[in-house]
Structure 1
Amino acid sequence: MLRGLYTAASGMIAEQRRHDTVTQNISNISTPGYKQVDTVAHSFPEMLISLMGDKASGGTTHIGKLITGVFAEESIPSFVQGDLKETGKNTDFTIISSVGLKDPKTGAQIAFDASGKYVSANGEVIYRPQAFFAVQDNNKNVRYTRDGSFTVNAAGELRTSTGYRVLDSKGNAIVLGPGVSVDQLKSDSAGKLFTYDNTGNPVVLATLGVNVVNRPQDLIREGNGVFRVDDPKTTGVRVMNADEGVEVRQGSLEVSNVNPLQSMVDLMAAMRAYESNQKVVQYYDKSLDKAVNEIGRV
């Protein structure tokens, strides 16, 4: 009986975490560059149930397997490209990432599925490399984001919506300068920022620091659409190459890739599953109450 109580309780905890994850996704539907998070649940080790034989017949009969509970193991972000929203602001930028990758064994171009994953013949899961803007927090740590809603402060510094400094391709903070007009700020597809002088000639100011992450599944979410990397070499962080399918587009933003309809379905499913496990816990509670307070008095 207690095994069933623990199984139902573990189901409630897992569904609560699933509910919290979906709620977080829904609350960030309007956040530029936000990447949806999915909760992965695994079952506890299975137990083989057997019927013990009597002395006459001997032996045992296998009934089947019993799962003793479930737990939410981890939350995995989905780096699928979100839709583009035209804003017309010169300080808004979008990364359009379609980085390709070759199979290390066969050398053939990998065909990723719609979720950005590829499963090799030996079962290895490979994720599509993703591109991010490199930014610097207030402690001078390098972070990565897809939120390109930048602003320019009075000192001419290019900043994110949360106040982080935007880095260039060499890892330095981008300072446009006090005399640069935002209205004249332009960018090409490689993220090179420039303006025009009095004679109409282009003047290059900086190049946006767009980094490609070979193993995006190793990124650690910090909040506000920002990720960190503990080991850049293992994660495979590198500066964007000009010929690997990454484009920077000015005057637009990448909206959240959260599907609101599917999120509402997942939210209702988590609530119903939580209620079902809750009723099971209540049933076991009543059964234990009868066993202790009523049967014990007989």
Structure 2
Amino acid sequence: MIRGLYTAATGLGVQQARLDVLAANLANASTSGFKADNVVQKPFPELLLVEQQEGTFRTGPGWRYVGTTNQGAAVARVVTNFSPGALQPTGRSTHLALTDPGAFLAVQTPQGELYTRDGNLGVDGEGYLVDSRGNRVLGEAGPVRVGTDDFQVTAGGEIIRPGQGTVGRLRIVRFADLNLLTKTGDNYFAAPAGSARPAASPEVRQGFLEGSNVDPAASMVQLVSAARSYEANQRILQAQDQLLDLAVNRVGALR
């Protein structure tokens, strides 16, 4: 019965993690460049079941293998889905989309250089190109100063001002292994030092935004499934508690 309590409790923990991730995905279904997460679960380490008999076996004198069991489930990891979202035309010069699914814009933040697929950009009061959170977008020579929103961006990331020519080139990077990236919040990713490499052909699309790759309908179905699984584990936990109460207070009582 104690094992049943542990098993049900671990199930609650896994379903809570699924609910949290699915809720975050749905909350960002309309966030530009957002990448959905998925929870990967695994069984706890399996325990060997043996029974005693005469003789000597690999498991020890007088024992033989009869099967395995486990103590429930656990969250193995949270995996980010990096598949590209649909491109949405906006016509605004400060909206950029990257068609290379492995490419990212580099942004200067208080936490250092971070990376994002969110191309919903703007121009701050000093004329620098900034993202939707006010952090400056990096070029190959540092933050890019465009002055106003009257500029063009080529497919290769060059920024051209009318009458001035090229004023900078966006620092667009890609990673050999996207699993190295970790989410830090606010639609940013962090990566190990030295893992970012210049994107050879980022294929920037000006006047477009990449939509979130969250599937709202599928996420809602998964959310309902996780909620029902959570409730089922709650009922199992209550049943185990009642059985334990009977065992302690009734079966074990002296009469």
Asked if these proteins are the same fold (TM beyond 0.5), I'd say yes
Contact in 1 for aligned 2:97/2:208 (Cα 8 Å):
yes
Residue matched to 1:79: 82
- What is the CA distance between 1:232 and its match in structure 2? 2.5
**Which of 238, 247, 251 is matched with 2:197 structurally?**
238
Contact in 2 for aligned 1:7/1:70 (Cα 8 Å):
yes
* RMSD, matched Cα: 2.0
Residue matched to 2:159: 193
Contact in 1 for aligned 2:158/2:168 (Cα 8 Å):
yes
- What is the CA distance between 1:52 and its match in structure 2? 3.8
Residue matched to 1:119: none
Give, as a single letter, the amino acid of the residue that structure 1 aligns with 2:79: I
Alignment of 1:282-297 (within 5 A): 282-297=238-253
Sequence identity of aligned pairs in percent? 35
Alignment of 1:203-282 (within 5 A): 203-229=165-191, 231-233=192-194, 236-242=195-201, 246-282=202-238
Distance in 2, Cα, partners of 1:281 & 1:70: 14
Alignment of 1:21-100 (within 5 A): 21-53=21-53, 62-97=65-100
Compare the two structures and name the one with the higher strand fraction. Answer: 2
Q: Which runs of 5+ in 1 are unaligned?
A: 99-129
- What is the CA distance between 1:8 and its match in structure 2? 0.9
Contact in 1 for aligned 2:124/2:134 (Cα 8 Å):
no
- What is the CA distance between 1:61 and its match in structure 2? 6.5
Distance in 2, Cα, partners of 1:138 & 1:296: 62
- What is the CA distance between 1:60 and its match in structure 2? 6.0
Residue matched to 1:112: none
Residue matched to 2:59: none
Secondary structure of the 1:31 match is coil
Contact in 2 for aligned 1:46/1:65 (Cα 8 Å):
yes
Distance in 2, Cα, partners of 1:15 & 1:74: 13
Secondary structure of the 2:173 match is strand
Q: Deviations over 1:168-221 (max 9, x none)?
A: 023x000113xx4x2x31111111111222xxxx61121111011112111121
Distance in 2, Cα, partners of 1:61 & 1:266: 42
Give, as a single letter, the amino acid of the residue that structure 2 aligns with 1:133: L
Residue matched to 2:105: 133
Q: Deviations over 1:114-146 (max 9, x none)?
A: xxxxxxxxxxxxxxxx1100010135x111000
Residue matched to 1:124: none
Number of aligned positions between the proteins: 249
Distance in 1, Cα, partners of 2:71 & 2:219: 28
Contact in 1 for aligned 2:50/2:66 (Cα 8 Å):
yes
Contact in 2 for aligned 1:169/1:239 (Cα 8 Å):
no
Distance in 1, Cα, partners of 2:27 & 2:125: 32
User: Please, what TM-score do these two structures have when normalized by structure 1?
Assistant: 0.78
Moved over 3 A (4+): 50-55, 59-63
Secondary structure of the 1:156 match is coil
Distance in 2, Cα, partners of 1:92 & 1:215: 27
Contact in 1 for aligned 2:121/2:131 (Cα 8 Å):
yes
- What is the CA distance between 1:49 and its match in structure 2? 2.6
Secondary structure of the 1:10 match is helix
Give, as a single letter, the amino acid of the residue that structure 2 aligns with 1:287: L
Distance in 2, Cα, partners of 1:47 & 1:138: 47
- What is the CA distance between 1:67 and its match in structure 2? 2.0
- What is the CA distance between 1:53 and its match in structure 2? 4.7
Residue matched to 2:14: 14
Contact in 2 for aligned 1:11/1:69 (Cα 8 Å):
yes
Distance in 2, Cα, partners of 1:93 & 1:276: 45
